[in-house]
């Protein structure tokens, strides 16, 4: 199966976790991939598929960087079909009364403004590429989170940033009307990556790894590859009628509301 043959894709946050798995899967499916990350680890990603993946080091939330990345890709690859805006940080888990404006600005800048820049600069390039190729279409994908659906799966600023991403892909889908370029989000549940390794490592240290999935119908956390598969679906023409959607990939985690135990001796009325 080669869903992305002849397509060019940019993936941000591709030095680790979900971004790395997606860059590798896109490459395996025939795409030429520009893997971008703020860290040097993106070189390792490119080295895993050197014929298909080119490394780019830069800040996904910096407008000049993203504009230059898109312009360079248009020149070197002759077009751009897919932009997976995946770079993100979790930020602090402090409560809303403890977080500072600086923390909020940092988290919103990377998690939300980074996606805005992908839509703004990547979107224009993808529309132009599509128009030059019989209106074949294109795809923008952003990594949101189940944290963006309701509270309880991240710090306050992270949760608000991911809710913003879910709304932003709907706005983008509308603003791209008639272009045959779609814009969707993925809402992962808990996935073992660099972002969550502290949690998995703490559970393993205590011999309680199985506890990580105990609130999930799947009874486990997810793997980066399971999110990459969703990112492949949304990037490919197989999702040609999916637009402005937030695709939940969480093993069922978000299907339930948190269960609050009643204090001893009291029953719910």
Task: Give the C-alpha separation, 64 to 72, whole Å.
Answer: 12
Select the residue interacting with ligand NAD from 137, 164, 194, 244 (CB under 6 A): 194
Binder of ligand NAD out of 39, 72, 174, 256 (CB under 6 A): 39
DSSP label at 76? H
Q: Residue 138 interacts with ligand NAD (CB under 6 A)?
A: no
Instruction: Tell me which of 10, 18, 55, 82 binds ligand NAD, using CB under 6 A.
Output: 18
**H or E element, residue 55:** strand 53-57
Residue 226 is a binding residue for ligand NAD (CB under 6 A): no
86 counts as binding ligand NAD under rule CB under 6 A:
yes
Which residue in this structure is represented by tokens 């404006």? 101
For the chain, how far is it from start to end, CA to CA, in angstroms? Answer: 56
Our finding on whether 16 is near ligand NAD (CB under 6 A) is yes
Rounded Cα gap, residues 202 and 231, in angstroms: 29
Distance between CA 256 and CA 76 in Å, rounded?
A: 47
Q: Which stretch binds ligand NAD (CB under 6 A): 26-34, 47-55, 56-64, 127-135?
A: 56-64
Taking the complex as a whole, the smallest distance from the CB of residue 94 to ligand NAD amounts, in Å, to 17
Residue 82, helix vs strand vs coil: strand
Catalytic residue at 158? yes
Nearer to ligand NAD, 109 or 136 (CB): 109
Q: Identify which of residues 60 and 157 has a Cβ nearer to ligand NAD in the complex.
A: 60
Sheet order of strands, 8-12 included? 53-57, 32-37, 8-12, 82-85, 138-143, 181-188, 246-249
Q: Does 37 bind ligand NAD (CB under 6 A)?
A: yes
- Contact status: 193 vs ligand NAD (CB under 6 A): yes
Number of residues that bind ligand NAD (CB under 6 A): 28
**CB closer to ligand NAD, 6 vs 217:** 217
Measured CA to CA, the distance from residue 122 to residue 124 in angstroms comes to 6
Choose among 44, 47, 58: nearest CA to 15. Answer: 44
Catalytic sites, residue numbers:
158
Q: Residue numbers of the site for ligand NAD (CB under 6 A)?
A: 12-13, 15-19, 37-39, 41, 59-61, 86-89, 110, 143, 145, 188, 190-191, 193-196
């Amino acid at each position: 199966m080669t869903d992305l043959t002849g397509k060019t894709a940019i993936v941000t946050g591709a030095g680790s976790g979900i971004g790395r798995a997606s860059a590798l899967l896109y490459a395996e499916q025939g795409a030429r991939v520009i893997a971008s990350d703020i860290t040097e680890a993106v070189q390792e990603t490119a080295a895993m598929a050197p014929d298909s993946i080119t490394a780019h080091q830069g800040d996904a939330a910096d407008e000049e960087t993203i504009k230059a990345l898109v312009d360079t890709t248009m020149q070197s690859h002759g077009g751009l079909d897919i932009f997976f805006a995946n770079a993100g940080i979790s930020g602090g888990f402090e409560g809303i009364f403890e977080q500072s404006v600086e923390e909020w600005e940092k988290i919103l800048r990377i998690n939300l403004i980074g996606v805005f820049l992908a839509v703004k600069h990547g979107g224009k390039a993808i529309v132009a590429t599509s128009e030059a190729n019989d209106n074949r279409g294109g795809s923008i994908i952003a990594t949101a989170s189940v944290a963006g659906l309701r509270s309880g799966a991240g710090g306050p600023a992270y949760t608000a940033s991911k809710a913003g991403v879910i709304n932003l892909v709907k706005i983008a889908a509308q603003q791209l009307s008639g272009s045959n370029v779609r814009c969707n989000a993925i809402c992962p549940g808990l996935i073992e990556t660099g972002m969550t390794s502290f949690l998995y490592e703490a559970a393993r240290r205590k011999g309680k790894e199985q506890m990580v999935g105990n609130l999930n119908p799947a009874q486990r956390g997810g793997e980066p590859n399971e999110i990459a598969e969703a990112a492949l679906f949304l990037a490919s023409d197989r999702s040609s009628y999916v637009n402005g959607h937030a695709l939940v990939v969480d093993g069922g985690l978000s299907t339930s509301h948190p269960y609050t135990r009643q204090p001893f001796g009291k029953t719910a009325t």
